[in-house]
Amino acid sequence: MIEARQLTKRFGGRTAIQGVTLRVAPGEVVGFLGPNGAGKSTTFRIMAGVFPPDSGTVLVDGIDLEREPLTARRRIGYVPERPALQLDARVDRELAFIASLRDVAPGARQRAVDDAIARARLEEVRTRRIGALSRGTRQRASLAAGLVGDPPVLLLDEPTVGLDPAQSADTRRLIRELGRDRAVLVSSHILSDLESLCDRVIVLHQGRVLAEGDPATLGSRLRRTTYVDVEAAASAERLAALVRDLPGVHGVAPLPGHVHAGRCRVEVTADRDVRAAIAARLAGAGVALYALVPVEPSLEEAFLSLVGESTGEAGE
């Protein structure tokens, strides 16, 4: 089990994270979600023992990471966001080196390396130079480095970045498998990556934990609204006036248009499809419709929506 209590870290005058508290139990896969710059990697680095927090505590199976760093770090498999392996080294030799640093007994090292290679499906490239591997395979080698020695806690920082869809699905399957008997914390800035993978998701924004819960509930909170871009033979202002009062429409914002067409973005409730209603309304007003394009909100937009909600709740 790994537990972070009230972690705060500042670099110069900038607060990277503040009061971050989380807990991952064995047999649990917890997602750590946040846009770029939210403080995910800083939290991971503190929890992996790379550098200490300014305040707060990390406990690994009850061992204080700052007081007993070597004992605690022995139990952590950390996979940084960027594959962190020596490019000139062979896959199996690099893994054996990491096994030796993780205090795997000399007699058990070969088996530890073989296990990690098998789990990460690296058999075909085990004797290849890491620098000669594709980015996706290198990412899997980095994952194998986190697994070697079988640590009970895994910290995986954006493990699917750079992987193709098949490799990404494969990695998610592996993480689920690993999460059966380990405490796994996995970060991403893509909600859909975590939805199918995690028992619980923690949302980090601007260095603070913004929300926590099961992926389905959080997903519906994050995706409360979606958008439809409308392009028609009228000015953006007229389009806005025509669709603003339709059921399910929360707001309308003009977009840069063309000479003969106006464009606007219509914010609508996520579970309603208002495209037919918009088309009917424009046809009724004699406005030729050129395009109706549904737009999924970006994670940043969804976060901003959640931030607004959180601020509203705080103000109540």
Partner 1 sequence: MTKAIGIARRELGLMFGGPLAWTLIGAFTFLGGYFFYTDLTFYVLFGGGNLPAGLWRYVFLHYRLVALLVVPLVTMRLVAEERKLGTLELLWSLPVRDRDVLAGKLAAAVVVYLVMLAGSAIGPFVLWVMHPYPLAPLAAGYTGMLLLGLAFIACGLAASCVGESQVVSAMLAYGVLVFLWFVSANEAALGEGLGWILLGMSLFDRFYGFAQGVIDLRDVVFFLAFTALFLFLALRALGARAWRGLA
Rule CB under 8 A: say whether 288 interacts with partner 1.
no
- H or E segment at 305? helix 299-315
Check: CB of residue 266 under 8 Å from CB of residue 274.
yes
Q: Name which position in 31, 83, 215, 219 contacts partner 1 (CB under 8 A).
A: 83
Q: Name which position in 18, 33, 58, 78 contacts partner 1 (CB under 8 A).
A: 78
Ramachandran angles phi, psi of 141, nearest 5°: -65, -35
Rule CB under 8 A: say whether 82 interacts with partner 1.
yes
- Span interacting with partner 1, options 25-33, 83-91, 270-278, 280-288, rule CB under 8 A: 83-91
- H or E segment at 185? strand 183-188
CA distances from 291 to 42, 173, 257 (A): 43, 39, 12
Site string for partner 1, 89-128 (x = CB under 8 A): x---x---xx-xxxx-------------------------
Please state the closest distance from residue 70 (CB atom) to partner 1, in A.
Answer: 4
Q: Name which position in 71, 225, 305, 310 contacts partner 1 (CB under 8 A).
A: 71
Residue 180: CB atoms within 10 A of its CB come to 11
Q: Residues in contact with partner 1, total (CB under 8 A)?
A: 33
Rule CB under 8 A: say whether 76 interacts with partner 1.
yes
What are the counts of helices (DSSP H) followed by strands (DSSP E) for the chain?
11, 14
Q: Coil, strand, or helix at residue 176?
A: helix
- Kindly list the residues in this chain that would bind partner 1 in the complex (CB under 8 A): 11, 16, 42, 45, 48-52, 69-71, 73-74, 76, 78, 80, 82-89, 93, 97-98, 100-103, 145
